[in-house]
Amino acid sequence: MLHRFIKLICFLLGLVLFQSAFSQDRPGHVVVISIDGFRPEFYLDSSMPTPNLQEMYKQGVAAKEVTGIFPTVTYPSHTTLITGATPKDHGIYYNTKIEEDGSAGGWVYDFKEIKSKTLWQAAKEKGLVTASVSWPVSVNAEYIDYNIPEFWSFENPMDRRGATSEKAHPKGLFEEVVKNATGTLEINDYNLSSMSMDQNLARIAGYLLREYKPNLLTIHLPLTDGAQHRQGRKGNLVRKAIAGADTAVGIIRDALDKAGIGNETVIIVTGDHGFVDVHTQIAPNVILRQHGLHQQSEGRPKAFFFSAGGSAFLHLEDGNDRKTLERIKQIFAGLPLEVRSTFEIIEEDKISERGGDPRAKLALGAKRGYSFSNDADGDLMTYKRGGKHGFYPNFHDIATGFVGYGKGMQEGEIIESMYLEDVGKIVASLLQIELNQGTTFYHSTIKK
């Protein structure tokens, strides 16, 4: 079969194998930039404040949409980006752990939680140099040579500086980048409250590129997520955050040129999920409680829904309790139309299709305008306006994007659609390293 993506992109019955036909066109360096809440409109819509992304889109390879995993939330999605696997294989099912009572526990941050091989490991096995800045689930990642992980203080979550310094590798790296890249950081210079966060992360990445010239650098820019949670898909704050992320991309591009490796580098800009405008929040555990299935006593409820925003996953105390499962299906199928019309029931086979939690017995997928909470008391529905993700990835608004720009990338190629797990496989092919996920990429026709 014929392969092309760096110089050539070909396809056979919709299954695309990505591999350069020309070894001289392989990059020596790959930079993966994840923009949280990255939507294809950021580069496809010429009215967006994104001159860097639009230039890269026009001069490189881009996708009209990238279908996410289920649920479409940050930490599982970023683990898919770095492994080429879906959550059912890599083991990061949600942003947080689930407590015994069904509530959200601490965030999943430790690299040891990942069950699949990562790009960092594959790169190190080939003797390549790796670096990462603010990537989710990268704390204690032994395969990252220069690591500034995404982490914060449990006592004061707004203050990320000391906790990041403690977990940075090698020791002293955080102090090194502050001295040489950002200058003194006040508390709000390095958290999600300030537009300066993305730029400071980009400056840190730029310093690592200039000083250590890693073959693989991954960086997560988080601020566009918070803006869209507050305002939805549109709004002045959202445009400011998008412009800020684009500026961060420009800082990294500039650093590559200053490092003398710009012509030997491919930059991949992608994301974890899109966003959906919402107005109402649903509490499905209220229904379970009304039927005696979600007791408020200590310990694990007989059944509970765990919210991922645009979806909620059903967990049973006894995973083999088919009687309770069927009863819950009947309860939710028989709800009044004004409630039943706000969500769809997602069966186990559909959960598995996009790699969702294999422990979940079914899920609820919110219709546009709605989202879920973990609440088990109070009103079934409450007014809550803003933006959400976590939806089942079967419509455009929740899709993320992809832009590939740099050495050997074919100018003006458009991918109609691809999957989130394709990104890790593409990076592996660019660097000629081996993941455990194979090399088959799924997407539709390429337009020239």
Distance CA 400, CA 268 (A): 13
| pLDDT given at position 223 | 97
Q: 411 and 378: one domain?
A: no
Q: 160 and 212: one domain?
A: yes
Looking at residue 72, which CATH number applies to its domain? Answer: 3.40.720.10
Q: 97 and 75: one domain?
A: yes
What is the secondary structure of 76-103 as a DSSP string?
HHHHHHHHS--HHHH---SSEEE-TTS-
Output the six-digit token pair for 438: 């194979």
In a domain, 6, yes or no: no
Percentage helix, strand, coil for the chain under 3-state DSSP, each rounded to 5: 35, 25, 40
In a domain, 284, yes or no: yes
Q: 31 and 148: one domain?
A: yes
What does pLDDT average to in each consecutive run of 10 residues of the chain (448 residues)? 36 36 69 98 97 97 97 98 97 96 93 98 97 98 98 92 97 98 96 93 98 98 98 96 98 98 97 98 97 75 95 94 95 95 96 96 97 96 96 97 92 91 95 79 47
Q: 91 and 231: one domain?
A: yes
In a domain, 312, yes or no: yes
| Crossing angle between the packed helical segments 236-258 and 223-231, to the nearest 10 degrees | 170
| pLDDT given at position 438 | 60
Distance CA 149, CA 112 (A): 14
Q: 268 and 352: one domain?
A: no
In a domain, 3, yes or no: no
Last residue of a domain, one of 334, 361, 386: 386
The neighbour count for residue 295, using CB atoms within 10 Å, is 16
Helix (H) / strand (E) element for 268: namely strand 265-270
**Residue 371 contacts residue 241 (beta carbons within 8 Å):** no
**Residue 92 contacts residue 398 (beta carbons within 8 Å):** no
In a domain, 24, yes or no: yes
Helix (H) / strand (E) element for 35: namely strand 29-35
Helix (H) / strand (E) element for 59: namely helix 51-59
Alpha helices in 232-380 (DSSP H): 236-258, 284-290, 322-333, 337-340, 348-353
Q: Which domain holds residue 378?
A: 277-386
Q: 142 and 271: one domain?
A: yes
**Residue 196 contacts residue 189 (beta carbons within 8 Å):** yes
| pLDDT given at position 446 | 45
Mean pLDDT across the chain: 91
What are the residues whose beta carbons fall under 8 Å from the beta carbon of 6, sequence distance 6 or more? 20, 22, 25, 26, 27, 266, 407, 408, 409, 410, 430
In a domain, 1, yes or no: no
Output the six-digit token pair for 136: 């989710």
What are the residues whose beta carbons fall under 8 Å from the beta carbon of 442, sequence distance 6 or more? 14, 15, 16, 418, 419, 422
In a domain, 9, yes or no: no
Distance CA 139, CA 151 (A): 7
What is the secondary structure of 400-447 as a DSSP string?
EEEEEEETTPPTTEEES-EETHHHHHHHHHHHT---SS-SEEEB-PEE
Determine what percent of the chain is predicted with pLDDT higher than 90: 85
Note every long-range contact of 333-339, with CB atoms under 8 Å and residues 24 or more positions apart, other chains counting: 335/287, 339/282, 339/380, 339/381
Alpha helices in 100-187 (DSSP H): 119-125, 161-167, 173-177
Q: 416 and 267: one domain?
A: yes
Last residue of a domain, one of 386, 405, 425: 386
| pLDDT given at position 294 | 87
Q: 241 and 349: one domain?
A: no
Residue 183 to residues 176, 200, 255, Cα–Cα distance (Å):
10, 9, 17
* pTM of the predicted structure, to 2 decimals: 0.93
- Number of domains the chain contains: 2
Closest CA to 75 of 45, 31, 105: 105
Q: 433 and 382: one domain?
A: no
Looking at residue 321, which CATH number applies to its domain? Answer: 3.30.1360
Q: 335 and 350: one domain?
A: yes
Distance CA 437, CA 237 (A): 39
Last residue of a domain, one of 386, 406, 435: 386
In a domain, 20, yes or no: yes
Residue 159 φ then ψ, to 5°: -100, 105
User: What burial class does residue 260 get, using C-beta atoms within 10 Å of its C-beta: 0-12 exposed, 13-18 middle, 19+ buried?
Assistant: exposed
Q: 252 and 356: one domain?
A: no
